[in-house]
Chain A
Amino acid sequence: MNALLTDTQRVLLKQLLDQIIPKEGEMPAAGEIAASHVERAAEMSSVTARVVLDMMAVADAMAGSCYGKPFSDIADSSKEPLLKIIQEQYPRMFGEFVTLAYNGYYTDESVVRLLGPDAGIPQPKGFLVASFNPAIVSNVRKLGQRYRATRGPD
């Protein structure tokens, strides 16, 4: 089967994802992390493929229109403002692309590890929580019976 994206498109996809979730501190950007998930999702669904391909086409077209060059070649400082324009003009497509980026990023093992143990896979270990303390309801018990009686016995 032919790959959905060319090498050039893969570069563009990573650059777009880097803008959706940029690097900050120890948290990596989404490009390296989520690109393979996004490409795989696009290969499995024609609807998703349309979103990804349209997003890349629009990004290049807008960059060409505003700066006379493809998205990959414009200054980093111009990329986020340009994507905000695309978001305004194509909110649905853009929203779906953002969701794809989040899906790939927040299910990546290295990202989840960086987020700490509370972000981990819930099973089979689960989480430790201190047992229920019965004294905590003492104020509520003082409220007394409040349910509404009906004519018959309840």
Chain B
Amino acid sequence: MCLDQGDWVAPTQYHLDERDWELSRWSDFHPDPNSRGLAVDYPVNNAESAIAPLMYNAVGGSTIHWGAHFPRFHPSDFKVRSLDGVAADFPYDYAELVPYFDINDRMMGVSGLDGDPFYPTKSPRPMPPLALGPHGETIAKGFDKLGWHWWPADAAIASTAYKEGRRACNYGSSCDLGCMTGAKASTDITYWPPALRAGARLETRARVRELVVGVDGRVQSALYYRDGRLHEQKARLIIVACNGVGTPRLLLNSRSHRFPDGLANGSGLVGKNLMFHPAAFVTGYFEDDLESNHGPVSNSIYSHHFYETDESRGFLRGYQFQVTHDSGPLWTARGGTKGEPLPWGSGHHEVFKQRFNHSINVAVLVEDLPEEHNQVTIDPLLSDSDGIPAPKVTYRVGDNSNKILDHGIRSATEVLEAAGAREVTPNRVPKFGGWHLMGTARTGVDPEHSVVDSWGRAHEVPNLFLVDGSVLVTSGAVNVTSTIQAIALRTADYIKRNRRYL
């Protein structure tokens, strides 16, 4: 039985074939739950956070509105402490996750190109890479000119027809507003159909208030609201996947005599070590029409040229360049990734013409190091519409991350200019940049310094497992869904093999 606070989103709820399709980006498909304010959303106090956590609450979760950029963590991302003397290591390594990465790539349906020299050899990509078009090819030339690494993105977007009736991407530049064709993987169309066929049950609009612990110290049920009424779902084993903000919120709201500071929180680390990927969007404008809105929003090419530590740069760890597309005319008029609307008045049309379909965005995605002061707590005043206390996020960008951002913005500017940009503008750490929510119930072997063990099982609660971004020890510098899902499959495999003893 799965309790999901959201509901199914039918493809007809996406507005991509309507005249005012772009307006949904700032209304019912806004990535910030506070701005969106749908009935299934819960508020997040982000007033003391440089970055607002973004999420979507529905069957399929944030994969409904994600960009489906699908890189894996690097091998070094699992051994940051051993290699660089900071943060902590994962208690497992890249090699152990490879079988699960591969299963997941097939389940989600990944398009990509084999042979990226900046990764260990991967299994053949299930589908060929998505087209780059003049937009991707132009920036690729910039990277080549500088002798820097780049590669066509692994994307969880079908480039050909794929399982479950998914059609090939038609390059409509609107992935963040949902995908009407099913080309973009979202778990409501990848994992859920076979799970339901296999007998899984799903209760939607079921908002869990707390997990209840029995006298034996095992979690025995979930109390949840549906249609304003409180229900109880008993279970022998409970798996939580509410993301790096929702999971600590649930655990911290699940207080009891045995766990006065929140469920599984003997270490005091539930909610601590929140990591985002602080980002900068560096946008270049070009003379030529680059068809910048012809393609999946978040997928074109990426570069890991500055991914690994090089201490001569003045910081540890590194960053990814993720080249992204632009979208429709309203997106351009409202300032694109910069978010500053184009000038109004005389001259407006000229600036619009210079920018619409003449832009390339290079996102600098920074590895965030865990810091305990960056955290999710329970807000003393705020609650959702069922009265469940809401989370408060406290976060500031760390010194190391700021140094990486400086370097990344300079390098992104360099590559855009090498590609021929006539104007380059950066947007450093946009508030609405919290796509990746990580670290708030970290994995480890030592119960004093971690919340879950190497299988995602809570150290203190033997039948409680966590399988979302909260279990990550470090953040890597790549989009995290692929790695989160591989870790979740590894946990699922463990549960399946050991279910008699759990």
Bound Cα distance from A100 to B22, whole angstroms: 13
Asked if B9 lies at the interface with its beta carbon under 8 angstroms from chain A, I say no
How many Å from the CB of B98 to the closest CB on chain A? 9
Q: Are B82 and A123 in contact (CB under 8 A)?
A: no
How many Å from the CB of A109 to the closest CB on chain B? 6
How many Å from the CB of B129 to the closest CB on chain A? 5
Q: Are B119 and A147 in contact (CB under 8 A)?
A: yes
Q: Mark B327-362, 1 if CB is under 8 A from A, else 0.
A: 011100110000001101110111000001100000
Interface members, chain A 108-154 (any B CB < 8 Å): 108-109, 111-112, 115, 118-119, 121-134, 136-137, 139-141, 143-154
Q: Are B133 and A130 in contact (CB under 8 A)?
A: yes
Interface of A is mostly: loop
How many Å from the CB of A85 to the closest CB on chain B? 13
Asked if A22 lies at the interface with its beta carbon under 8 angstroms from chain B, I say yes
Bound Cα distance from A137 to B304, whole angstroms: 14
Asked if A57 lies at the interface with its beta carbon under 8 angstroms from chain B, I say no
Q: Are A20 and B344 in contact (CB under 8 A)?
A: yes
How many Å from the CB of A19 to the closest CB on chain B? 6
Q: Determine the residue in chain A with the shortest Cβ distance to B75.
A: A154
* B residues near A105, Cβ cutoff 8 Å: 333
Q: Are B113 and A132 in contact (CB under 8 A)?
A: yes
Q: Are B131 and A132 in contact (CB under 8 A)?
A: yes
Interface members, chain A 1-25 (any B CB < 8 Å): 19-22, 24-25
Asked if B443 lies at the interface with its beta carbon under 8 angstroms from chain A, I say no
Q: Determine the residue in chain B with the shortest Cβ distance to A103.
A: B23
Q: Are B117 and A153 in contact (CB under 8 A)?
A: no
Q: Indicate the member of B130, B330, B334, B342 with the most A CB atoms within 10 Å.
A: B330
Asked if B293 lies at the interface with its beta carbon under 8 angstroms from chain A, I say yes
Q: Are A99 and B344 in contact (CB under 8 A)?
A: no
Number of interface residues of A (CB under 8 A): 57
Q: Are A132 and B149 in contact (CB under 8 A)?
A: no
Bound Cα distance from A20 to B345, whole angstroms: 5
Q: Are A129 and B291 in contact (CB under 8 A)?
A: yes
Bound Cα distance from A118 to B341, whole angstroms: 20
* A residues near B151, Cβ cutoff 8 Å: 137, 140
Asked if B414 lies at the interface with its beta carbon under 8 angstroms from chain A, I say no
Q: Are A123 and B174 in contact (CB under 8 A)?
A: yes
Bound Cα distance from A16 to B44, whole angstroms: 37
Q: Mark B407-422, 1 if CB is under 8 A from A, else 0.
A: 0000000000000000
Interface members, chain B 115-163 (any A CB < 8 Å): 115-120, 128-133, 137, 140, 143-144, 147, 149-152
How many Å from the CB of B117 to the closest CB on chain A? 5
* B residues near A107, Cβ cutoff 8 Å: 19-23, 330
Tell whether A132 pairs with B128 under 8 Å between CB atoms, given A22-B346, A146-B149, A153-B95.
Answer: yes
Asked if B225 lies at the interface with its beta carbon under 8 angstroms from chain A, I say no
How many Å from the CB of B340 to the closest CB on chain A? 9
Asked if A68 lies at the interface with its beta carbon under 8 angstroms from chain B, I say no
Asked if B170 lies at the interface with its beta carbon under 8 angstroms from chain A, I say yes
Q: Which residue of the partner chain, among B94, B143, B328, contacts A150 with CB atoms under 8 Å?
A: B94
Asked if A63 lies at the interface with its beta carbon under 8 angstroms from chain B, I say no
Q: Are A150 and B173 in contact (CB under 8 A)?
A: no
Asked if A95 lies at the interface with its beta carbon under 8 angstroms from chain B, I say yes
How many Å from the CB of A2 to the closest CB on chain B? 25
Asked if B180 lies at the interface with its beta carbon under 8 angstroms from chain A, I say yes
Q: Determine the residue in chain A with the shortest Cβ distance to B309.
A: A148
Q: Are B172 and A127 in contact (CB under 8 A)?
A: yes
Bound Cα distance from A84 to B23, whole angstroms: 26
Number of interface residues of B (CB under 8 A): 73
How many Å from the CB of A112 to the closest CB on chain B? 7
Interface of B is mostly: loop
Asked if B28 lies at the interface with its beta carbon under 8 angstroms from chain A, I say no
Q: Are B344 and A139 in contact (CB under 8 A)?
A: no
Asked if B227 lies at the interface with its beta carbon under 8 angstroms from chain A, I say no
Tell whether A121 pairs with B21 under 8 Å between CB atoms, given A129-B291, A147-B119.
Answer: yes
Bound Cα distance from A99 to B339, whole angstroms: 11
How many Å from the CB of B321 to the closest CB on chain A? 13
Q: Determine the residue in chain B with the shortest Cβ distance to A27.
A: B349
Q: Determine the residue in chain A with the shortest Cβ distance to B344.
A: A20
* A residues near B357, Cβ cutoff 8 Å: 118
* B residues near A108, Cβ cutoff 8 Å: 19
* A residues near B308, Cβ cutoff 8 Å: 146-148
Q: Are A106 and B333 in contact (CB under 8 A)?
A: yes
Bound Cα distance from A121 to B19, whole angstroms: 6
Asked if B93 lies at the interface with its beta carbon under 8 angstroms from chain A, I say yes
Asked if B315 lies at the interface with its beta carbon under 8 angstroms from chain A, I say no
Tell whether A119 pairs with B117 under 8 Å between CB atoms, given A129-B171, A143-B149.
Answer: no
Q: Are B82 and A122 in contact (CB under 8 A)?
A: no
Q: Are B118 and A147 in contact (CB under 8 A)?
A: yes
Q: Determine the residue in chain B with the shortest Cβ distance to A123.
A: B16
Bound Cα distance from A102 to B344, whole angstroms: 9
* A residues near B76, Cβ cutoff 8 Å: 147-148, 150
Tell whether A122 pairs with B174 under 8 Å between CB atoms, given A127-B291, A143-B149, A150-B76.
Answer: yes
How many Å from the CB of A80 to the closest CB on chain B? 5
Q: Which residue of the partner chain, among A80, A118, A137, A150, contacts B346 with CB atoms under 8 Å?
A: A80
Q: Are A149 and B75 in contact (CB under 8 A)?
A: yes
* B residues near A137, Cβ cutoff 8 Å: 113, 115, 151-152
13 A-B interface contacts by CB (under 8 A): A99-B334, A103-B330, A119-B328, A123-B14, A124-B180, A126-B170, A127-B170, A127-B173, A141-B115, A145-B118, A147-B76, A151-B79, A153-B95
Given contacts A107-B19, A139-B147, 15 further A-B contacts (CB under 8 A): A80-B345, A118-B356, A119-B329, A121-B21, A127-B170, A127-B291, A129-B132, A132-B128, A132-B132, A132-B152, A140-B151, A146-B117, A147-B75, A150-B79, A150-B93
